[in-house]
């Protein structure tokens, strides 16, 4: 795979699960549930009022009973912590923006192997191809297929051919007219 990479314009928090706005909305809903529990409303009624499952309302009720409002606050990031810090990620992105030639490659084409090598050089952390790809997506970089052109291509000759020779080829032979592709002779029935 020989991807050319570029940054995407949409800045989301790819790889972190829900978007921050979603997490805030969920926390707000849990805190509403806590207020209803405080007023003596049962979990089944809380579930109906807030449009959540009874199971969620029950879990929230137990968290509220055990820790109060603090038990309903936003949870920390789940899962394994990232291998690279935000500072390291920024350093990797800055390195990638310099181009592959800055690291000694003869072309500006980034491959997953090359990116993995740059990550190891810049941070000391080694990634496999799938890990590199996940990391690039998290950084909002996308795969780009390079345009193929012959090395020998001469733009001036191509322009001259299009300007001078193509119009001659395109012209229809003198005296020709549209014909039929049918093998049947056109005639009266």
| Segments making up each domain of the chain, as ranges | 20-72, 81-144
pLDDT in tens, 73-124: 866 666 788 888 889 999 999 999 999 999 999 988 899 999 999 999 999 9
Nearest to 162 by CA among 150, 172, 154: 154
State yes or no: pLDDT of 25 exceeds 90: no
- Tell me: pLDDT of 56 over 70: yes
pLDDT tens, residue by residue, 118-174 = 999 999 999 999 999 999 998 889 888 777 888 888 899 999 999 988 888 887 666
* pLDDT for 5: 56
Contact 143, 3 (CB under 8 A): yes
What is the C-alpha separation between 120 and 139, in angstroms, rounded? 17
pLDDT above 70 (res 42): yes
If one counts every other C-beta atom within 10 angstroms of the C-beta of residue 68, the result is 13
Cα torsion 151, 133, 12, 140 to 10°: value is: -20
| Distance (Å, whole) CA 32 – CA 51 | 12
The correct answer on CATH 1.10.1660 for the domain covering 20-72 is no
């Amino acid at each position: 795979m020989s991807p050319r990479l570029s940054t995407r314009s949409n800045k989301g928090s790819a790889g972190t699960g829900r978007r921050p706005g979603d997490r805030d909305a969920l926390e707000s809903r849990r805190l509403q549930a806590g207020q209803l529990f405080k007023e003596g409303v049962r979990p089944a009624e809380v579930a109906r009022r807030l449009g959540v499952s009874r199971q969620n309302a029950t879990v929230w009720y137990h968290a509220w009973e055990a820790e109060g409002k603090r038990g309903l606050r936003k949870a920390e990031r789940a899962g394994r912590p990232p291998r690279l810090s935000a500072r390291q990620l920024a350093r990797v992105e800055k390195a990638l923006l310099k181009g592959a030639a800055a690291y000694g490659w003869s072309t500006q084409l980034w491959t997953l192997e090359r990116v993995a090598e740059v990550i190891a050089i810049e941070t000391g952390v080694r990634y496999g191809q799938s890990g590199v790809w996940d990391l690039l997506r998290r950084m909002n970089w996308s795969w780009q297929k390079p345009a193929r052109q012959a090395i020998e291509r001469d733009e001036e000759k191509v322009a001259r051919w299009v300007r001078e020779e193509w119009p001659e080829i395109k012209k229809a032979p003198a005296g020709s007219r549209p014909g039929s592709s049918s093998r049947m002779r056109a005639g009266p029935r």
